[in-house]
Structure 1
Amino acid sequence: MSLLDRRQAVVVFLAFAFAYFFAAVLRAITATLSPVLTQEFSLDAGDLGLLAGGYFLGFAIIQLPLGSWLDRHGPRKVNVPFVGLAVAGCAAFALASSFGWLLAARVLCGLGVASCLMAPLTGFRRWFTPGVQLRTNSWMLMTGSLGMVASTLPVQWLLPVVGWRPLFWGLAVLMALSMALISWKVPEWSTEDATKGPRGSYGPVWRHPYFWQMAPIGFFSYGGMIAVQSLWAGPWLSRVAGFTPDAAAVGLFTINVSMLGTFWCWGLVNPWLQRRGIVTDRLIAWGLPLSFVSLAALIVLGPSAGPVVLALFCTTSTFVSLAQPAVGMMFPASLAGRALSAYNLVIFVGVFVVQWGIGLLVDAFRHGGWTEVDAFRGAFGVFLATSVLSYAWFLWSRSHNRPTSP
């Protein structure tokens, strides 16, 4: 398929971004709703982590077939029916009367939005030049951050007015509208595009050393950042730093605005960096340790660490977001959907494991006699250790894979 002209590229980007915005609202809304849901359904930290992680579980379980379907059928034919599942998930969440029902609806939401980032990135791989791909990848993530901003203060303001259940009915309607936009504006996959490459095979992806170089940092650092941003930042602010629900929502708003600005900047500078030969691997090697310093500061400061420290951790973790388009561009366009979906599987299994794991560790440390503050510190300390180990693997692999790195 030929490259899109500028006007068509903008329209296609906006159609996909509209759906991804609401997918991000769904991803992060549990952080804002956690006090309400905890009270109404009597949830402990492990339940809350599992509920938030259910979205990522649904997201992860469909990634491998999703990649094959995207390569074969194209973004439009795949994304529209998947978003329909998210509409059903929102409706089910609004009707939930038990924790089990909430969890099942949350998994269905994750399943439904699983293509909302992979579909556009697969299309961008064929429709845009490499520099534009790096820019639009960052700006799609910026759109996600905007959705996460919308899941904080706006949701907190609407809660006393309409309640949390009508919010999910509204999300169902808006996601149905996004299905119509994608059907209308996104081009078809050509027959030639649909038949290129080895059908359904992930062998070239699994065997590639660059994929495994990037996999552990995707699992722990990227997945962990999303786990904190979309859930644990909220409980940290309320249960460790002592913020009220309204103040915690303001703090989450601050964190997500910081992420929005960071991804906007990445979109601006990525093409410039690529033209000057400043490659992804080097940027990650230089920048990712900043996130470890920020996370260590969060743990040491404990109750004194508020939104600013959490925002520093999340923004400095965005260096690892550059790995996703780099993995996609390492493979031919006919394998883009599978390469991107395989890496996305790694990321979102990581989100699920870290999100639920932090909750389990908090509960375990508390049952062991630790205070709540120390339990959170201990859980985040385990997360920090795994992130540092994954970075060490990245450095070791990079030294061995240098001739094939982008």
Structure 2
Amino acid sequence: MRDDSATPAAPPPDDAASGIGAPPAESSSIRVASAPFSSPAAAASSLSGRTVFVMVFLPFALGHFLSCLMRTVNATLAPQLVAALALTPGELGLLTSAFFLAFALAQLPVGMALDRWGPGTVQPPMLLLAGVGALAFAGGHTFTQLLVARAVIGLGLGGCFMSAVKAISTWIAPARLPSVQGYLIAIGGLGAAAATLPVRMALDYMDWRGLFLWLAAAAALIGFLIRALSPPQPGAARKPALLDAMREVYRHPAFREMAALVLVPHTVFFGIQGLWIGRWLSDVARYSDNAVGYLLYLGMAAVIFGAIAVGMITEWAGRRGVQPIRVAAAGVALFIAVQVGFVCNWRPSYQLLSVLFTLVGTVTGIEYTIVALSLPGALTGRAATCLNLLIFLGAFAVQAGFGLVVGCWRPDVTGHYPAQSYQAAFALLVLLQLPGLIWFVRRAGAIR
């Protein structure tokens, strides 16, 4: 963690201290400073690039991988869950979105804990809690039992991404943050991809209950790795009170501008990608479960490419004087255009629409880069807290609300809901996102 009064410093001249994959410094051992670090660059200079990768990036990225896998796995398991519990679209949406609600409720206490004790101390017990939730889900037999278990999973995984962001913000120089955070989001994309076709293949050898037993074991193992490998956190100055810190974050002009433009699209991306894209491919496009699993896999694989591309484009644009918020605006416009294709029920290529949604939607992850580069370092954990709180509350509302809209129509004799139900739901989402984009365009034009 960094001193409250510090401002982001320029990256150190030693490339080994500037980020992932840099050549190792003369010594790969951790050098503990005698005083608190005053900047990300100072913290980064205490670890070689190789050590940062092995002890900081890799273990926390595995936690984010697991979080994304468990967040999106219900999109693949939906047919089995519906068959086992006779769920309506509204119940399926509520069951799956319980993850987001619990995830959001975890943000405030986790953000405080990260700033006080550091991600290496906070994250392992939370992963153990997620493992307990996975065990409960594997043993659940009623809708209520699975709902509670799903919420416990979300609560336990509520710190995975924030911990990773806090760790890399501490140990990696600011100039490298956009690309390294892009790699982190790409690892999350791998996790989401693992929740599609690989999970579908695993179901040939086990049922969904057995799958969750394996996920529980994975959560415990990753928690152990983080505890064993995470380096000791740099000393930190006294933090402001929670409410004061939250007010400072929400009042910061960069945070408010970013939230107005990107927040709603990000909630749409999380809420739809984690469940309803798969149901749309089944109900509207009428693809088989195997075909849906394959298309979901392609879509999640596209997240990996998209996340890395967004990081690279942001850095490239920054070198040419283009602010990340303008990159975000262009991406949000494309994302809304893709959703208009769903509204119009664009028949020429249902497959292309489903993949484009996840590919273009990755631009919403640029929020974390904007926050990390714009706010004081001492507020990094709580800034991520504020952002995640809003994102996952919104994702809960989107995922549950989408199911309620679709459920306003009756299914046919085969159990498929009509295209009109999805068109109406996507149209509502587009109407919710347009005001933020229009406001930004008008404001940008006024500034010129």
Deviation per CA, 1:56-101, whole angstroms, max 9, x where unpaired? Answer: 1110011112111111111111111111111111101000110111
Compute the displacement of 1:5 (Å).
2.1
* Counterpart amino acid of residue 115 in structure 2: D
The residue aligned with 1:5 is 48
Unaligned runs of 5+ in 2: 1-36, 38-42
In the alignment, is the contact (CA less than 8 A) between 1:298 and 1:305 conserved in 2? no
The residue aligned with 1:375 is 421
Alpha-carbon distance in structure 2 between the residues aligned to 1:117 and 1:24: 9
Compute the displacement of 1:47 (Å).
0.7
The answer to whether the aligner puts 1:198 opposite 2:240 as a matched pair is yes
The residue aligned with 2:144 is 100
The residue aligned with 1:289 is 333
* Counterpart amino acid of residue 239 in structure 2: G
CA RMSD in angstroms comes to 2.0
The answer to whether the aligner puts 1:389 opposite 2:435 as a matched pair is yes
In the alignment, is the contact (CA less than 8 A) between 2:372 and 2:380 conserved in 1? yes
Alpha-carbon distance in structure 1 between the residues aligned to 2:169 and 2:239: 15
The residue aligned with 1:340 is 384
Pair member with larger Rg:
2
Alpha-carbon distance in structure 2 between the residues aligned to 1:207 and 1:321: 21
The answer to whether the aligner puts 1:277 opposite 2:321 as a matched pair is yes
Distance 1:329 1:253, change over 3 A: same
The answer to whether the aligner puts 1:137 opposite 2:181 as a matched pair is yes
Distance 1:221 1:51, change over 3 A: same
Alpha-carbon distance in structure 1 between the residues aligned to 2:78 and 2:96: 9
Distance 1:277 1:197, change over 3 A: farther
Compute the displacement of 1:398 (Å).
5.7
The residue aligned with 2:405 is 361
Identify the match of residue 317 of structure 1 among 356, 361, 379.
Answer: 361
Alpha-carbon distance in structure 2 between the residues aligned to 1:397 and 1:151: 40
Aligned length: 398
Q: SS in structure 2 opposite 1:202?
A: helix
In the alignment, is the contact (CA less than 8 A) between 1:214 and 1:394 conserved in 2? no
In the alignment, is the contact (CA less than 8 A) between 2:64 and 2:161 conserved in 1? yes
In the alignment, is the contact (CA less than 8 A) between 1:76 and 1:187 conserved in 2? yes
Distance 1:320 1:276, change over 3 A: same
Distance 1:265 1:391, change over 3 A: same
The residue aligned with 1:233 is 277
Alpha-carbon distance in structure 2 between the residues aligned to 1:277 and 1:215: 22
Q: SS in structure 2 opposite 1:277?
A: coil
Unaligned runs of 5+ in 1: none
Distance 1:273 1:204, change over 3 A: same
The residue aligned with 1:244 is 288
Deviation per CA, 1:307-335, whole angstroms, max 9, x where unpaired? Answer: 31122122222222212221232211111
Identity of matched residues, %: 32
Q: SS in structure 2 opposite 1:310?
A: helix
* Counterpart amino acid of residue 99 in structure 2: Y
Compute the displacement of 1:345 (Å).
1.1
What are the within-5 Å matches in structure 2 for residues 155-234 of structure 1? 155-190=199-234, 192-193=235-236, 195-200=237-242, 201-234=245-278
Distance 1:397 1:64, change over 3 A: farther
Identify the match of residue 87 of structure 1 among 115, 126, 131.
Answer: 131
The residue aligned with 2:163 is 119
* Counterpart amino acid of residue 429 in structure 2: F
Alpha-carbon distance in structure 1 between the residues aligned to 2:49 and 2:316: 19
Alpha-carbon distance in structure 2 between the residues aligned to 1:83 and 1:397: 43
> What TM-score results when the alignment is normalised by the length of structure 1?
0.93
The more displaced of 46-55 and 305-314 is: 305-314
Alpha-carbon distance in structure 1 between the residues aligned to 2:355 and 2:255: 28
Distance 1:97 1:217, change over 3 A: farther
Distance 1:320 1:399, change over 3 A: farther
> What TM-score results when the alignment is normalised by the length of structure 2?
0.84
